Amino acid sequence: MDKCGICKDQLDKIYCECAACLLPSHPKCNNLLDTSWVHKSKDNRATWRCLPCRENKVERKNKRSRKDSIGSDGIQSDIEQYEIDEEVFRSSISSQPATMAQIQMLFTKAMEPIQLRLNSIETSAKKVEEVKKTVEGISTQLESMSERLKDAETKINSLETKSSDLHATVQSLKNAQNVTQPVEIDNRFEAMERYTRRNNVIISGVPLNDNEDVYKCVIGYCSKIGVEV
């Protein structure tokens, strides 16, 4: 049977397996009870790390700059840091009483991601407020444009009514003109005919001969009756 990766003793029937170093170890070597390991879910076991790996990771993370904690990736790193510190802290206090400094350190670590999250929420709230003001401005402009469109629609309806009335008037005038125009033309034509006949001489009772000069005949007839032409 394999040996424990921490104490190097033979493993029992119940043993832990680290997801980081992949070494098996006793639950007690990781400050765990056998029942605690048995009741862990499959997902928790798949990401579980042994005590040496957790301590090494804590040491590496303490050397990293706190600038990496800014933004969403930083928040996630702080949360992971808190989970690791909490696990190490619980492991350490399982064998000895916790000091005030340890409790304060754990509380401070726990509050850091929460404070970052609160700051992120505050920034998001400011952006939401700006978007709200922009939407309100657009809404006001839309209301003003809607009023203008209503006024334009009213004017268009008025113009359409006037245009319809004007069209009816023009059609009425055309109909009246079509009725009175032939009569007026006939009257004018008859007056013109009367005007052209004002100097005409009508000769009746005289036989008409071919190739006869009407002008000479009129002069002859006038001389015989004593009328000067």
pLDDT at 136: 86
- Examine the pLDDT at 229 and tell me if it is beyond 80: no
- The rounded percent of the chain whose pLDDT value lies above 70 is 72
- Examine the pLDDT at 175 and tell me if it is beyond 80: no
Largest Cα span, the chain: 176
pLDDT at 1: 59
* Contact (CB, 8 A) for 85 and 91: no
Per-residue pLDDT tens digits for 112-124:
888 888 888 888 8
- Examine the pLDDT at 55 and tell me if it is beyond 90: no
* Contact (CB, 8 A) for 95 and 102: no
Domain regions of the chain by residue span:
1-49
- Examine the pLDDT at 18 and tell me if it is beyond 90: yes
Among 37-51, 56-70, 192-206, name the one with the lowest average pLDDT: 56-70
Mean per-residue pLDDT for 186-203?
Answer: 75
Q: Which residue has the tokens 């008859």?
A: 190
Per-residue confidence band for 26, with pLDDT thresholds at 50, 70 and 90: very high
Q: Helix %, strand %, coil % for the chain, to 5? A: 70, 5, 25
pLDDT at 50: 92
* Contact (CB, 8 A) for 71 and 46: no
**In angstroms, how far is the first alpha carbon of the chain from the final one?**
165
Per-residue confidence band for 16, with pLDDT thresholds at 50, 70 and 90: very high
Q: Can you point out the beta strands (E) in the chain?
A: 16-17, 24-25
- Between CA 172 and CA 122 the distance in angstroms is 75
What pTM value is reported for the model? 0.28
**25 backbone dihedrals φ, ψ, rounded to 5°:** -160, 160
Among 73-87, 138-152, 196-210, name the one with the lowest average pLDDT: 73-87
Per-residue pLDDT tens digits for 28-51:
998 888 888 998 888 889 999 999
Per-residue pLDDT tens digits for 118-144:
888 888 888 888 888 888 888 888 888
* Contact (CB, 8 A) for 99 and 69: no
- Between CA 59 and CA 206 the distance in angstroms is 153
Query: Partners of 16 in the beta sheet?
Result: 25
Q: Which residue has the higher pLDDT, 65 or 178?
A: 178
Per-residue pLDDT tens digits for 86-104:
554 454 444 445 577 767 7
1-49: CATH topology: Herpes Virus-1 (3.30.40)
